[in-house]
Structure 1
Amino acid sequence: MQQLTQKLGSGDMIIQDVPYPQLGKGMIIVKNHYSIISAGTEGSTVVAARKSLIGKAKERPQQVKQVVETLKKQGPIQTYRAVMKKLDAYSPLGYSCAGEVIEVGDGVTEFEVGDKVACAGVGYANHAEIVSVPTNLCVKLDENANLKDAAYNTLGAISMQGVRQADMRVGESCVVIGLGLLGQLAALILRASGVTVIGVDVSEAAVKQAVDHSVVDLGLTRDASGIEEQIQQATQGYGADAVIIAAATSSLDPINFAGAIARKKGKVVVLGAVPTGFDRDPFWYRKELELKMACSYGPGRYDLNYEEKGIDYPLPYVRWTEKRNMEAFQRLIATKKIDINYLTTHEFDFENAKSAFDLVVSKTEPFTGIALKYNIDKTVSKAKISTSESSKPGKINVSFIGAGSYAQGNLLPNIPETNDIGRIGVLTNTGTTSKRVAEKFKFQFCATQEEDVLDEKTNTVFVATRHDSHGPYVLKSLEAKKHVFVEKPLCLLESELNAIIAMQSSVNRAVMVGFNRRFSPLTETLKKAIGNNPMTMIYRINAGAIPGDNWIQDLEIGGGRVLGEVCHFIDYLTFLNGSQPIKVSATALPDANQLNDTLNILIQFENGSSGVVAYYANGSKSMAKEYVEVFSAGLSATLNDFKELKIYGKGKPKKTKIFNQNKGQKEMVKAFVDGLLKDGNAPIPFSDIVAVTKASFKVLESVKRGGQQVEI
């Protein structure tokens, strides 16, 4: 299928063939008929992408700060990879479309193949022939719905949420500042609700369009003579009951102007992208004005449970969710209570989408809404897409399932480029990522279907997906008789672990988990120094906080931080002392969200060694993240953030310091490949991987038991 993409680095915009999107649980596949270009949101993205690196940096100071922090902690190589991954990626565009359902995922009951639908969401409702969208970001339409108008779905819901935040009553007055797409849609909704609407814009053409189509009761340019007095006159001398700011500007004028024209105790709703540093006097303070933000489409936005899992908010308690806002907007169109046909000032065939965006950037002629029309008669294939002919089959033939930030920064660049290794296929959730990764790292193809990367051409699979899919993909790969490298954790469920143990024993293929720290050069030096005597160990991790609504903290998707990350450190201590964990006890610091991400874990090992994993999410970011202490047979050692190792024995301490942090990712990938080439075995014994995974499960059990010791 074809999709419109842009590279952030160069600004290059192309329509390209990418793999057909994945159909996940609770999702539907839609063949687009129309999608709408948002001149504000998408236009600013395109303009930024076409700027120089210095121009990009000026627009994104926060991201520049993150780059500097990464440089300090991880060194230039990892920083360069992280930056280039962003700049070279194919970024999808679009977030509002309408079309026809052509496939329905598991668990979907409200949609059927053939339904007409309108869709929303960045990363979902793209400018593409085919899109995959969660059900809570889709609404069903009438069979005879005008799909061009329906494609304004996202923009309509955003405007609807702004109106809801204003909380207007029949007969009240509202000033809409900014008469672009969002402003005009908000004005239409307000007028349909019996509200007197005054529209203001810096553009005379925008005001004229609103007046000509009866969108506003009064239209004024911002520089109109006596504008404040005119608004007072139009509101019977009270001032506006509410002001909705739908403009996009860095100027403080909209927020201060809103203060001047609102009535006492009035409301100001920020719908657009404007600063809110208003002047306290003379208006905001004396009028006791209320400032409200409108969060995108409405309640549910940015909530993983709502948008990705499809868990709805109960209507009696949350009357208007983002989906119900979309449905209300579509009813206004269907019942002709609002007419938005005039908003589409330009229509382009999808094949000419680049010309449409050139118009947005250049502004060579007036425009409001720009629709992209798709060829709905075109047949779309699920066949894999060839990306490189240079990679030839070898002894080890690798395919990737999942290829996100970590894989692109630490796994893919470290696969040795030798004739022994063939690079076969790439499969990810998004076709744009699959295509870019396959091209950049010279894989033969990118794919849509699992069977394409699990066929006889591949004998080794790298799994680098979200945590909840690790176990299932490891099982599928083993069933297909492939060697498997899986990013940590191995799985999230004990039932999955038992199934993996049985399958690995049956097919006798290597299973490797990405426990990279045991492969660090400084770890190798430390291991040689301390030998194999029983030892005591402390591993302190200044992990930093991750919000409770992040997918990593979600127990179903990410497994939480114990299963998702603490397993790393249990493995490290297992490797250092040379024996497996047999007992654990753990206590967590109470926290409001019950995240269990600040905890002390005491581990006993088979050979009598003991270790403490002190995993803390409540510390300062300015402190080094990882610190290890080891004590054994008269020797002591400290390892600081995988950059400095000190070994204390007789005489002066031996100190080894490296310039760049090295956590062993490159060495890990090489060891895995070398092991397969040598004898078909992974460098980490499978029994260690099983023991560490079991220990991670038992940590959570011990926390639930109030720190009681649990046998593994």
Structure 2
Amino acid sequence: MKQVLLDLQSGSIQVEDVPVPAATRGVVVQNAYSLISAGTESSLINLAQQSLIGKAKARPDDVKKVLQKIGTDGPLSAYQQAMGRLSRPEPLGYSCAGTVVTTGSDDFEVGDRVACAGAGYAIHAEYVAVPKNLCVRVPDGVSFQEAAFTTVGSIAMQGVRNAEVTVGENVAVIGLGLIGLLTVQILKAAGCRVIGIDIDREKLALAGNLGADVVSNYDGLAERVKAFSPFGADAVIITAATRSSAPVEAAGRLVREKGRVVVVGNVGMNIPREVFYEKEAEVVVSKSYGPGRYDRNYEEKGIDYPILVRWTERRNMEAFLGLVQQKRIDLDRLITHTFPLDSAPEAYNLINTGKERFIGVLLQYSPNGAGAAGTVTRLPEPATRRREVPAGTRTIGCIGAGVHAQSALYPNLRSLPVNLGGVATATGLSAQAVAKKYGFAYCTTDYRKLLDDPGIDAVMIATRNDLHAPMAIEALQAGKDVFVEKPLATDIDGLRSLVRAWSESGQRLMVGFNRRHSPLAQKMKEFFANRSTPMVLHYRVNAGQIPPEHWVHDDEQGGGMLISECCHFFDFMQYMTGSRPVQVYARAIEPTGTLRKYDNFQATLAFADGSLGTVTYTTLGDRSYSKESVEAFCDGAVGRITDFRDLELRRDGRASRERRWLSQEKGFAEELRAFVKGEVPDLADSVATTLATFLAWESIDTGTPRTIDLGKVGL
């Protein structure tokens, strides 16, 4: 299929062939029309077109994160990760309409006409995969062109709801772009009197034609508002987009005492306290489409809110389409341009240059699809990307293309003697971008295409955590060797099933516990090679807080930081001692405020050889301080590794030290080299580590030590 993408490094707009997305918790829709959001999409394009310095000035928070990365990971690693993010193309669009062609939800049937919402979902592409709560049926009498406005209409709808206006109230709308003109019509449908305010005469005239009772520019505005409503506007809705705080200041002057100002557009928020103080006016910032926005449970998982939350984003979408069906909203006069999909660059050029006046700009899709409709896209291999590999080299297929895969795994594959077969991701754009960047022969949105490919010998799984075990089981059963990122599983049932599949398959299974492969870790292990006493280890992790909405905290997808990340530290101590853990005891800080239960804890492991290891994991520290530090004590000697850049070894008063100035040595390249070479890892070590994280969780819950018994999972 064809899709519009933005090059984040150059700012150019391209239309490229990518695989059709797969349905997960919603539907796959064949688009008929999608709406370009001139404001939101243009701001992203303008940012992409800036130099690196310009991008840095526009995103100071991102610069701060890069500087922190330099401090812990080294300048080379930080630079590579930052450039890796910029090298990924960005999908554009968030409002479209079309026909359901595949459904994974009981809410919809194949053939349903639907309107879709959501950045990353309702994109400019021939086919889109959309969760069910971001999708609504299009009622009879509403065209696909009209339905393509549904997302933007729901933004206007939510702004009106936040204004809490009633029949007969007087409302001012500042900014008569697309959302402003929709807001005017929604207010009129609600029985309000409306004054539309803008500096553009043509927009003022159009607002008047669409029902505004009064229109005005800023000249003589105070007098017009006084004539419109002697006591001031009951509510002011700001739909303008400007860095200036002038719209907010004007709203303060226009609103009545105890009135309400609703900010919908992205405007400056320097609120004049004295004006609002005297009137006791309320300021509300409207959040996009309505309740449910940015809530992963609602948007991704399809978990609806009870009717007590009357107007969710989906219900706002339905209400907007209802007004369109009733002819209370006129969209025909808002559609100024329609471009075929292949002409998308021309459409964005029109918007960015302003060479013609525009309001609603639509992209139209061929009813039969201009691009291929398959889930696999094969890429030509230009000479600049050809890789010389020995005859008989094994071929690997990769599943997943997140930040970790693209920063730590795939870059290292390019230097190894392995053929890159196919790469599979949930979205076609990311699959195509990764395939092009790293030189895979094809890309797909159906990972089973890799499992069914007889030319692929081994599979690498780098997806979200909950998919690790089930995908690894399928790959083993398909006769593939498997490299799976940590954690091996997110619950004991999944671990038990995976162990059974591995033992029955006869294939290799390696887990991405990279730290044991670090050259610094191996040197520290050699330093203690002839030890005569047990070891005492302390692994301190200054993790910093991860936003609570991040998927890693999700009990289903991530399993929390204890299972998702601390398996690394348990495994490292097992590697260093050369002995398996037999017992774990853990305590955690009770959750308060933004602190989650399993994010700040200490876990002590007892090993079979008598060694002890403690992991201190905290999100409470300063990110500028080192993230990871592990110390080992044994036989009158000490070893310490800090952030896998600094190794210090001490014995008999003498110290040696190694420092990596440019980047970390976390062992990613070394673990992949071992897998590609065909080394057979001891899976029992990885299973013991994984089981230890589950039992540490139990220990926190019960307050008692837990025995680690591999027999529980079939080993």
CA distance in 1 between counterparts of 2:62 and 2:538 reads: 34
Find out whether 1:288 has 2:280 as its counterpart: yes
| Aligned match of 1:464 | 462
1:260 to 253, 262, 280: 253
In structure 1, the residue corresponding to 2:42 is in which secondary structure?
helix
2:499 to 492, 498, 501: 501
The answer to whether the Cα contact below 8 Å between 1:177 and 1:254 also exists between their aligned partners in 2 is yes
CA distance in 1 between counterparts of 2:64 and 2:538 reads: 32
CA distance in 1 between counterparts of 2:95 and 2:540 reads: 46
CA distance in 2 between counterparts of 1:383 and 1:642 reads: 40
Cα deviation, residue 58, structure 1: 2.6
| Aligned match of 2:561 | 561
CA distance in 2 between counterparts of 1:74 and 1:142 reads: 54
In structure 1, the residue corresponding to 2:603 is in which secondary structure?
strand
Identify if the C-alpha distance between structure 1 residues 594 and 436 changes in structure 2 by more than 3 Å, giving closer, same or farther. Answer: closer
Give matches, 1:382-401, under 5 Å: 382-389=374-381, 390=386, 394-401=392-399
Cα deviation, residue 229, structure 1: 2.0
Cα deviation, residue 398, structure 1: 0.9
Cα deviation, residue 86, structure 1: 2.3
CA distance in 2 between counterparts of 1:181 and 1:595 reads: 45
CA distance in 2 between counterparts of 1:280 and 1:38 reads: 33
Please list the CA deviations of residues 506-542 of structure 1 after superposition, one character each: whole Å capped at 9, or x if unmatched: 2221111111111222211111112254211111111
Equivalent residue letter for 1:626:
E
Cα deviation, residue 491, structure 1: 1.2
CA distance in 2 between counterparts of 1:490 and 1:338 reads: 53
Please list the CA deviations of residues 166-203 of structure 1 after superposition, one character each: whole Å capped at 9, or x if unmatched: 10011111111111111111111111001111111122
| Aligned match of 1:3 | 3
The answer to whether the Cα contact below 8 Å between 1:462 and 1:486 also exists between their aligned partners in 2 is yes
| Aligned match of 1:348 | 339
| Aligned match of 1:73 | 72
Cα deviation, residue 383, structure 1: 4.9
Cα deviation, residue 63, structure 1: 1.9
2:703 to 701, 706, 709: 706
Identify if the C-alpha distance between structure 1 residues 630 and 69 changes in structure 2 by more than 3 Å, giving closer, same or farther. Answer: same
Identify if the C-alpha distance between structure 1 residues 428 and 644 changes in structure 2 by more than 3 Å, giving closer, same or farther. Answer: same
Cα deviation, residue 561, structure 1: 0.8
2:310 to 319, 322, 345: 319
Cα deviation, residue 313, structure 1: 0.5
| Aligned match of 1:477 | 475
| Aligned match of 2:630 | 628
Cα deviation, residue 245, structure 1: 0.8
Give matches, 1:168-567, under 5 Å: 168-214=165-211, 216-222=212-218, 224=219, 226-235=220-229, 237-281=230-274, 283-315=275-307, 317-378=308-369, 380-389=372-381, 390=386, 394-417=392-415, 420-454=417-451, 455-531=453-529, 532=531, 533-567=533-567
Count of aligned residue pairs for this structure pair = 696
CA distance in 2 between counterparts of 1:462 and 1:483 reads: 9
| Aligned match of 1:617 | 619
Equivalent residue letter for 1:561:
M
Cα deviation, residue 143, structure 1: 4.3
The answer to whether the Cα contact below 8 Å between 2:4 and 2:13 also exists between their aligned partners in 1 is yes
- My pick for the range that moved more, 701-710 or 247-256, is 701-710
CA distance in 1 between counterparts of 2:233 and 2:312 reads: 27
The answer to whether the Cα contact below 8 Å between 1:416 and 1:670 also exists between their aligned partners in 2 is no
CA distance in 2 between counterparts of 1:604 and 1:369 reads: 66
The answer to whether the Cα contact below 8 Å between 1:519 and 1:663 also exists between their aligned partners in 2 is yes
Identify if the C-alpha distance between structure 1 residues 693 and 639 changes in structure 2 by more than 3 Å, giving closer, same or farther. Answer: same
In structure 2, the residue corresponding to 1:118 is in which secondary structure?
strand
Identity of aligned residues (%): 42
In structure 1, the residue corresponding to 2:86 is in which secondary structure?
helix
| Aligned match of 2:159 | 162
Give matches, 1:588-603, under 5 Å: 588-592=588-592, 594-603=596-605
| Aligned match of 1:586 | 586
The answer to whether the Cα contact below 8 Å between 2:577 and 2:611 also exists between their aligned partners in 1 is yes
In structure 1, the residue corresponding to 2:156 is in which secondary structure?
helix
Please list the CA deviations of residues 378-431 of structure 1 after superposition, one character each: whole Å capped at 9, or x if unmatched: 37421521224446774321111001111111101111535x411100100111
CA distance in 1 between counterparts of 2:299 and 2:448 reads: 28
The answer to whether the Cα contact below 8 Å between 1:587 and 1:707 also exists between their aligned partners in 2 is no
Equivalent residue letter for 1:645:
L
| Aligned match of 1:668 | 671
Cα deviation, residue 335, structure 1: 1.4
CA distance in 2 between counterparts of 1:70 and 1:202 reads: 45
> Structure 1: which 5+ runs fail to align?
none
Please list the CA deviations of residues 646-665 of structure 1 after superposition, one character each: whole Å capped at 9, or x if unmatched: 22220222222221332222
Cα deviation, residue 301, structure 1: 0.5
Cα deviation, residue 468, structure 1: 0.9
Please list the CA deviations of residues 75-114 of structure 1 after superposition, one character each: whole Å capped at 9, or x if unmatched: 2322222222222212111100001101001xx1110001
CA distance in 2 between counterparts of 1:404 and 1:292 reads: 36
CA distance in 1 between counterparts of 2:112 and 2:255 reads: 44
In structure 2, the residue corresponding to 1:132 is in which secondary structure?
strand
CA distance in 1 between counterparts of 2:573 and 2:410 reads: 27
Cα deviation, residue 144, structure 1: 4.1
Equivalent residue letter for 1:595:
K
| Aligned match of 1:650 | 652
| Aligned match of 2:23 | 23
The answer to whether the Cα contact below 8 Å between 2:426 and 2:446 also exists between their aligned partners in 1 is no
Identify if the C-alpha distance between structure 1 residues 587 and 342 changes in structure 2 by more than 3 Å, giving closer, same or farther. Answer: same
Please list the CA deviations of residues 451-493 of structure 1 after superposition, one character each: whole Å capped at 9, or x if unmatched: 3211211111111111111111101110111111111111112
Find out whether 1:571 has 2:565 as its counterpart: no
Equivalent residue letter for 1:429:
A
CA distance in 1 between counterparts of 2:706 and 2:210 reads: 73
In structure 2, the residue corresponding to 1:40 is in which secondary structure?
helix
In structure 2, the residue corresponding to 1:318 is in which secondary structure?
coil
CA distance in 1 between counterparts of 2:136 and 2:374 reads: 25
CA distance in 2 between counterparts of 1:595 and 1:551 reads: 16
The answer to whether the Cα contact below 8 Å between 1:548 and 1:595 also exists between their aligned partners in 2 is no
The answer to whether the Cα contact below 8 Å between 1:251 and 1:275 also exists between their aligned partners in 2 is yes
Equivalent residue letter for 2:404:
Y
Please list the CA deviations of residues 327-366 of structure 1 after superposition, one character each: whole Å capped at 9, or x if unmatched: 1111011111222221111111122111111110010111
CA RMSD in angstroms comes to 1.5
In structure 2, the residue corresponding to 1:629 is in which secondary structure?
strand
The answer to whether the Cα contact below 8 Å between 2:600 and 2:618 also exists between their aligned partners in 1 is yes
The answer to whether the Cα contact below 8 Å between 1:397 and 1:422 also exists between their aligned partners in 2 is yes
CA distance in 2 between counterparts of 1:68 and 1:625 reads: 14
Give matches, 1:97-176, under 5 Å: 97-105=96-104, 108-176=105-173
CA distance in 2 between counterparts of 1:547 and 1:83 reads: 20
Q: TM-score, normalised by structure 2?
A: 0.95
CA distance in 2 between counterparts of 1:527 and 1:388 reads: 46
The answer to whether the Cα contact below 8 Å between 1:646 and 1:653 also exists between their aligned partners in 2 is yes
In structure 2, the residue corresponding to 1:15 is in which secondary structure?
strand
Q: TM-score, normalised by structure 1?
A: 0.95
CA distance in 2 between counterparts of 1:564 and 1:239 reads: 56
The answer to whether the Cα contact below 8 Å between 2:155 and 2:289 also exists between their aligned partners in 1 is yes
Equivalent residue letter for 2:332:
N
> Structure 2: which 5+ runs fail to align?
710-715
CA distance in 1 between counterparts of 2:53 and 2:685 reads: 48
